[in-house]
Structure 1
């Protein structure tokens, strides 16, 4: 029987309170920014939900390499007018963004591009500067979406976007961080129709069996964590990141279940589609590798609950889908954000090496 070892959390309490206040301030700042925008056409959102037009909070951009590390918004070009070439295509899709809510006005392109930079700026710069000769062989696209929406809704609309922008003769490789991996799995689910041009998906720390930090039974063990967790995952999309006990190699967590992920994962088992996924997972050795302290704290909390390998947010087995994907690659001494190439120093070898490993897996894809 699995036994949870608990340690006093008193050393974490003041930090967690401060982090909750900090996150709340971020949300208030963004909400003020959104409200100040003139684009508050809620009719657009209704039409999108009815399937009569694309969701205005989602968009695919093509990236035009430049020369400065200070990336300009003009380098991100709407995919409809981005020049089509014979190169292979890489599509970056980001993870969860706690600053946006369903009720917020439609984000403009400037905010959409900022969302992409917040996750992938290092990776974009590595591409621009020709790491692993990536820009000579591939065109780079980036997809953004409102993460408070259900992964089912976002996934189906990602499928529609891919279907409309690429042809069956294209070779498309998706690189998905965190929640982006779940949205991609929905997009490629058999129920939504096969996309033959998607040759491989590389997931970076995607919670394919969910994360305890989105799970009420885990958060309820501490009132401060519960308050923080309620704020962070108090949306449909956030709740669908919750941990499930179902799946190969899963550590049992009392009260944990996620029917959305269970149904999705079963669909993949039946179809054999897991063979098109390569899973990267991060491990924080000793829980002191995080560039941001709350990942170290998150790693300790997970370790105390029996999840001995994690990136501070996602347990290793969840990132690896229980070793059911085509290939699993462990990345040592990195936190959850670093799994998206995001180190404070762009030239950090951890960022550059991870980028080059991802490009290598794409280049050596069996499809």
Structure 2
């Protein structure tokens, strides 16, 4: 889970599951951007956990198109102030963010908005500039959350946010990158509650059967990854991104299990909820097509372990949920970040074409 600014990539190992495993200097840099008033932090989080107030680390924004590719924070408007229209709604939700930990102070809106930009700025610019006439047919919303928390907790909070803002008569389409796809699956599960206004979910490189890079046994087999991977698997949210051997078409990985995903996926099979999902999977024809050394390395590591199709982080079978979703689409030569429209050059045809594909699938869906 936000686009990774390319100038900080030398400090990262890779974006892992919409997100990235990172070195401590990056964490220390980002920590300065957090709101640090402890007197409100502890009380607000307590009320959120008790269900008395929304979690202050998550928020739904509406996006107001502007004219500059240098997106202003003023274009991101809290949903409570964003005027609702009769248009169909697209809600984008990001994946893993390494810059926040469970015990950190509450994130302010500036950091929340930066998380969103780090994943979806290219897509927002395509929308703003009228690509595929999307801005005449849809309103864009963006949801952000603290990714180190459990996907079960985040999914319930996502559900509550959507339920509290949209009406049953609305037509809502969710576009989820990476971990955001898992959070969305929890939000739509029958145990959490029905959201009749959610017509379709498009997942972009979501590890629906997990990723080896969030799996302790896989990380431990590679000394280069082991130390840097400890943060990811050491948080509840990160550990729930781990690879599972259970699932259609899954290649067995020694020591891999994920009871959270297994339970969630079985629930979706039992209730036929996979019929609301279209899954996009990044498939690099060779590892050199990745835009950074990190996805190139991730692709090579996965390939050497037998995962011949991946976006450098998520194996294609995991992203496609073993072909059990309503529709599956392979995206050629896109790494994990590019699966969120994030190419170094905004006008890259891979970014523009993926945006067109997503809008087209939403527009032509039977829901």
| Fold shared per TM-score above 0.5 | yes
Report whether the alignment pairs 1:283 with 2:283: yes
Matches within 5 A, 1:1-367: 19=13, 23-34=23-34, 41-367=41-367
Q: Residue 3 of structure 1 corresponds to which residue in structure 2?
A: none
User: CA, structure 1 residues 107+126, in 2 after alignment: closer, same or farther (shift >3 Å)?
Assistant: same
Residues in 2 aligned to 1:111 and 1:16: alpha-carbon distance in whole angstroms: 21
Q: Calculate the TM-score normalised by the size of structure 2.
A: 0.93
Give the C-alpha shift of residue 192 in structure 1: 1.1
Map Cα deviations across residues 54-107 of structure 1 (whole Å, 9 max, x no partner): 000000000011111111111111101110110000000000001100111000
Residues in 2 aligned to 1:78 and 1:22: alpha-carbon distance in whole angstroms: 29
- 1:299–1:313 contact (8 Å) kept in structure 2: yes
User: CA, structure 1 residues 48+215, in 2 after alignment: closer, same or farther (shift >3 Å)?
Assistant: same
Give the C-alpha shift of residue 232 in structure 1: 3.0
- 1:39–1:105 contact (8 Å) kept in structure 2: no
SS at match of 2:289: coil
Residues in 2 aligned to 1:162 and 1:125: alpha-carbon distance in whole angstroms: 24
SS at match of 1:54: coil
Larger Rg: 1
Residues in 1 aligned to 2:25 and 2:282: alpha-carbon distance in whole angstroms: 29
User: CA, structure 1 residues 289+132, in 2 after alignment: closer, same or farther (shift >3 Å)?
Assistant: same
Residues in 2 aligned to 1:17 and 1:111: alpha-carbon distance in whole angstroms: 19
Give the C-alpha shift of residue 28 in structure 1: 1.2
Map Cα deviations across residues 155-192 of structure 1 (whole Å, 9 max, x no partner): 00000000000000000000000000000000000111
- 1:16–1:225 contact (8 Å) kept in structure 2: no
User: CA, structure 1 residues 152+332, in 2 after alignment: closer, same or farther (shift >3 Å)?
Assistant: same
SS at match of 2:191: helix
Q: Which moved more, 1:265-274 or 1:31-40?
A: 31-40
Q: Calculate the TM-score normalised by the size of structure 1.
A: 0.93
Give the C-alpha shift of residue 34 in structure 1: 2.4
User: CA, structure 1 residues 109+352, in 2 after alignment: closer, same or farther (shift >3 Å)?
Assistant: same
SS at match of 1:363: helix
SS at match of 1:285: coil
Residues in 1 aligned to 2:197 and 2:149: alpha-carbon distance in whole angstroms: 26
Residues in 2 aligned to 1:22 and 1:229: alpha-carbon distance in whole angstroms: 8
Residues in 2 aligned to 1:364 and 1:218: alpha-carbon distance in whole angstroms: 40
User: CA, structure 1 residues 18+329, in 2 after alignment: closer, same or farther (shift >3 Å)?
Assistant: closer
Give the C-alpha shift of residue 235 in structure 1: 0.7
- 1:40–1:105 contact (8 Å) kept in structure 2: no
SS at match of 2:34: helix
Q: Gapped runs of 5+ residues in structure 1?
A: 1-14
Give the C-alpha shift of residue 16 in structure 1: 10
- 1:17–1:224 contact (8 Å) kept in structure 2: no
- 2:34–2:111 contact (8 Å) kept in structure 1: no
